[in-house]
Structure formats: structure tokens, C-alpha cells
């Protein structure tokens, strides 16, 4: 009985200290540092984060542990400091920024939109790019034009040469696609009809209620249009971030994240090769290496969109990429985030 009473007294003592330390504030220093430790920050990092939260104008520093918008404001303050300083950030601040981005990543992917997914092709939207696999023939690229209540309307598939006497109507196919900020999906269906709408050839595909969710997105990506140079590598192991002095193959980065990128090149790509790209984000040069995991090829203009899984960049390069990605998302209200990030523009002119 005495032991139980002692525990109750101790809990009431901690509660009194916590509430007393709050004063007129909505938080106490005890709650703040306890939450900081729980979130993976050291005591020193939590203190620096608290100071930065005050600089960013947050009345309650604990907001950074539960509000994406508040955390973005603090990250933006650090980003502006880096851009304003000719020497960039010191090592400790770079490490703090790295930890903040890691925490933001966890908060981002805890949102329901990354966990729920979709179950039916009725939930697809127009302009979704798809790949159509015809067994025994090959893979074709297409885009959804409309999602009708009874069928999907897609552009005429582009890909390998069709065999003589081939007919799309009634053909069993598999459809693959990557849903923006979600995951990859695949479903089996068949072609209802092959026809023309206002002289434009299209296919009608049957709906499916059995979508299979494949690889989930692991990082936040941003669509882009950044001029870059690409280089072929003999191996990806030990790839370093030292920029090449000579120009490589001109390309355009169209999709960027810390763990991968997609680039548009002239000609037809190959799966499994190792590549390296370099480009500028503002005044900072970025070098990334990785393995080609797939590509979309358009024979009519002899171009390929190459999808690359990147070797994990250094903390500095990761932070630069994250800054660009979140700045791009902040400028688009449909992608989440407020107008909090200082713009990090991609310098196209430097790469020719």
C-alpha cells in the first residue's frame, strides 16, 4: 500500500512540475525534450531545433513533432541560411537537417494516402500513364484518356511491331502503372473494342476490381525539367560524387528523389546498365549514380524515359535533393505543403 502511494505521489509530482513549467505556454520544456528524444533527436539537436522553431516564428516548438507544415517552416529557415552563406552549413547543422528530413519522411508516409491504396480501376484518373503487356508479343506504352463507368479509354498502344493478323479486340492483357505518390499496380483485363474517336485510334479496356498493389513508394518525388549530363559506368559499386569535367550524353531529368530519378534521352535504353548523371540545383552541383531498372521507349521520336534506382547519396547531396523536392511540392497546393520553402531552382543553362 505504501509503495502504491509513493508511485502516485511521484506521478503527481511530475505532473505538477510539467504543468508548472508551462506557465502561460501550451507546452513545457519537459514535454518538449521528452518528445524530442522519442522522435530520435539528441538533447543538443532538440535544443537547436527549439531555437530554430523560434526563429521560424512558431509559438509552440512542439508543433514540429506533429505538424508537417510547422516542420517545413523550420527546414525552410535552415535552407535559407544555407543559401545565404557562401560556406553553406556547418557539419552539426547538416546532421540536424538530415535528422529532420528523416523525421519528416516518417511523418509523410504515415499519412493514409500512402497506406490505403486503391482496389478498383474505377478509381483511376485521366492522364495516368500505363504499360500494357500482351503475352507472347511484348510491352506497349499508353495513357488513359477517360475513365468511363463501363470501361477505360486509352491511347493506341505504342511498342514493338505487331505480328501479322494481330487484333486488339478481345485480347487478354495485363496493365501496369505507377500511381503518383502511392505505389505500383497491376491488373489483368481484356480489350473490349478497338475503334476511333474523332479519327483518333483508341482502345476500350474492361474494368477490374482486382488491382494488385506492388512496390510502394519509399521517398517523395518531384516532377522536374532539369538539363543534365549522363555517363555510362562499368560498375555502380564505389561510385563517387566527383563531377566529370567532360560533357556526357545530354538528357533531361523529369523525375527526382533521393533514391532515384527518371531521365529522358535520345535513342533506346537498356535495362541493367549502370549510369551517372550530374546537374545543378541552384548553385550546387549534384552527382548521382545508379542502375537502370526500366524504360519507356517511343519509336516515333526515338526517345526513352529511363528509370534509375540510385545509390544512396551522401547526406549533403540527399539534403540538397530533398530541399528541391519539397520546394517543388510547396509550390503546388495539390501536392501538399504550404508556401514555406525558399525556391531552389534548377539551373538548366550550366549543362548546355
Q: Decide the pairing of beta strands 212-216 and 183-197.
A: antiparallel
Query: Please, what's the b/e burial string for 219-236 (b: 16 or more CB within 10 A of its CB; e: otherwise)?
Result: bbbbebebbbbbbeeeeb
Q: How confident is the model at residue 259 (pLDDT cuts 50, 70, 90)?
A: confident
Q: What is the pLDDT of residues 282-303, one digit of tens each?
A: 888 999 999 998 888 888 788 8
pLDDT, residue 239, reads 72
Ranges of H-type helices in the chain: 2-22, 29-38, 43-55, 68-84, 91-109, 113-116, 315-330
pLDDT score, position 349: 42
Considering the segment(s) 121-210 as one domain, its CATH architecture is Roll (2.30)
Residues 137-194: tens digit of each pLDDT? 988 989 999 999 999 999 999 888 889 999 999 999 999 998 876 778 999 999 999 9
Q: Which CATH superfamily is domain 222-351 in?
A: predicted glycosyltransferase like domains (2.40.10.220)
10 Å Cβ neighbour count for 93? 17
Quick check: 275 and 253 in contact, CB under 8 A? no
- Answer yes or no: is pLDDT of 318 > 50: yes
Between the alpha carbon of residue 59 and those of residues 62, 70, 253, 258, the distances in Å are 9, 10, 39, 32
Q: How far apart are CA 35 and CA 31, in angstroms?
A: 6
Which one is predicted more confidently, 340 or 105? 105
List the domain boundaries for the chain.
Answer: 2-113, 121-210, 222-351
Confidence of residue 347 (pLDDT cuts 50, 70, 90): very low
- Identify which of 60-64, 110-114, 286-290, 339-343 has the greatest average pLDDT: 286-290
For residue range 16-33, list pLDDT tens digits in order.
Answer: 544 444 444 556 667 778
Task: Provide the sign of the torsion angle of the four alpha carbons 231, 233, 236, 240, taken in this order.
Answer: negative
Question: 316: Cβ–Cβ under 8 A, 6 or more apart, which residues?
Answer: 94
Amino acid at each position: 500500500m505504501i509503495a502504491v502511494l509513493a508511485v502516485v505521489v511521484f506521478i503527481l509530482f511530475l505532473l505538477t512540475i510539467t504543468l508548472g513549467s508551462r506557465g502561460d505556454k501550451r507546452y513545457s520544456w519537459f514535454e518538449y525534450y521528452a518528445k524530442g528524444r522519442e522522435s530520435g533527436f539528441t538533447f543538443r539537436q532538440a535544443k537547436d531545433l527549439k531555437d530554430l522553431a523560434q526563429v521560424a516564428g512558431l509559438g509552440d516548438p512542439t508543433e514540429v513533432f506533429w505538424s508537417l507544415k510547422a516542420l517545413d517552416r523550420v527546414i525552410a529557415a535552415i535552407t535559407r541560411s544555407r543559401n545565404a552563406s557562401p560556406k553553406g552549413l556547418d557539419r552539426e547543422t547538416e546532421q540536424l537537417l538530415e535528422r529532420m528530413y528523416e523525421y519528416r519522411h516518417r511523418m509523410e508516409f504515415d499519412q493514409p494516402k500512402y497506406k490505403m491504396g486503391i482496389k478498383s480501376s474505377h478509381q483511376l484518373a485521366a492522364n495516368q500513364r500505363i504499360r500494357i503487356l500482351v503475352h507472347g508479343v511484348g510491352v506497349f506504352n499508353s495513357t488513359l484518356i477517360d475513365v468511363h463507368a463501363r470501361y477505360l479509354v486509352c491511347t493506341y498502344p505504342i511498342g514493338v511491331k505487331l505480328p501479322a493478323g494481330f487484333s486488339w479486340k478481345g485480347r487478354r492483357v495485363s496493365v501496369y502503372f505507377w500511381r503518383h505518390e502511392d505505389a505500383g499496380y497491376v491488373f489483368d483485363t481484356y480489350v473490349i473494342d478497338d475503334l476511333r474517336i474523332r479519327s483518333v485510334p483508341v482502345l476500350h479496356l474492361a474494368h477490374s476490381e482486382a488491382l494488385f498493389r506492388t512496390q510502394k513508394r519509399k521517398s517523395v518525388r518531384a516532377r522536374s525539367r532539369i538539363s543534365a549530363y549522363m555517363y555510362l559506368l562499368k560498375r555502380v559499386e564505389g561510385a563517387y560524387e566527383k563531377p566529370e569535367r567532360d560533357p556526357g550524353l545530354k538528357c533531361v531529368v523529369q523525375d527526382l528523389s533521393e533514391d532515384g530519378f527518371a531521365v529522358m534521352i535520345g535513342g533506346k535504353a537498356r535495362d541493367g546498365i549502370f549510369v551517372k548523371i550530374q546537374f545543378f540545383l541552384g548553385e550546387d552541383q549534384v552527382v548521382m549514380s545508379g542502375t537502370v531498372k526500366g524504360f519507356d521507349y517511343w519509336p516515333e521520336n526515338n526517345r526513352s524515359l529511363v528509370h534509375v534506382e540510385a545509390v544512396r547519396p551522401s547526406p549533403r547531396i540527399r539534403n540538397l535533393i530533398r530541399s528541391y523536392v519539397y520546394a517543388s511540392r510547396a509550390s503546388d497546393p495539390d501536392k501538399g505543403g504550404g508556401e514555406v520553402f525558399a525556391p531552389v531552382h534548377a539551373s538548366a543553362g550550366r549543362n548546355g
